[in-house]
Amino acid sequence: MTDSDGSTPRWRHIVRLALFAAFLLGLFYLVAGTDVVDVEDVRRTVAATGPVAPLTYVVVSAVLGAIFVPGPILAAGSGVLFGPVLGLFVTLGASVGTAVITGLVGRRAGRDSARALLGSERAERLDRLIERGGLWAVVGQRFVPGISDALASYAFGAFGVPLWQLAVGAFIGSAPRGFVYTALGASIADLSSPLAFAAIAVWCVTAIIGAFAAHRGYRHWRRLT
């Protein structure tokens, strides 16, 4: 079986997407499940760059986030290095950078195959859905606990979510959790401080909102499909 234009067999698209998914899962296991990246060494190296350390950490964290170094660890490191205020902006900059990197890779590696497997009618329907609500889908995903932001952004890119929606959505959606982990990192020496309690409270509220948003989004998706 081939695409509607007869150019590429359907099985090639399936194999391409399967290989891409296997690569991402393997990378996730290698980085998130082992100690291949030492975040302490990263923090020391960044701190040594002096006045440009915040910008350096944005770039380094964006790349590390794209290869599945856990975001909470990177955000906490930002809090340790730069404090709760500057650290939050560094964390958000890194989140946006990771979203752009992963979105570009996902679009490049999987968008054509994903659209080919969906078929022209479903692909056009998906484009309309993304145009109306792609930004808020990205924002909502950031509120849902337990989902890798990088993995979700690879998927968003593969399904054709525009980069501006990924960037803006990552900035808005990452703000609550970014504050939580950055504040906890900044409060590591005194976890009984008001800042630490505020971070925990924000985390609880965000988790509740995320669970509600995930349930509602799933029901909406089922109605559409």
Residue 192 tokens, joined: 């009984």
Q: Note whether 155 and 102 are within 8 A (CB).
A: no
Over residues 58-105, the pLDDT tens digits come to 999 999 999 988 889 999 999 999 999 999 999 999 999 999 999 999
Backbone angles phi, psi at 190, to 5 degrees: -150, 85
Over residues 92-105, the pLDDT tens digits come to 999 999 999 999 99
* pTM to 2 decimal places: 0.83
Identity at 167, one-letter amino acid code: A
- Extents of the domains making up the chain: 10-224
Measured at the alpha carbon of residue 152, what is the angle toward residues 166 and 80, in degrees to the nearest 5? Answer: 80
Among 59, 135, 41, 136, residue whose Cα is nearest residue 98 = 59
Distance from C-alpha of 126 to C-alpha of 155, rounded to nearest angstrom: 13
Average pLDDT value over all residues in the chain: 83
User: Which region, left, alpha or beta, applies to residue 160 given φ > 0 means left and ψ of -120 to 50 means alpha?
Assistant: left
Q: Which of 10-19, 37-46, 83-92 has the highest mean pLDDT?
A: 83-92
Q: Which of 17-21, 37-41, 47-51, 155-159 has the highest mean pLDDT?
A: 47-51
List CB contacts of 129: < 8 A, sequence separation 6 or more: 224
Over residues 172-213, the pLDDT tens digits come to 999 999 999 999 999 888 888 899 899 999 988 888 887 776
- The alpha-carbon radius of gyration of the chain (Å, integer) is 19
What is the per-residue pLDDT for 1? 46
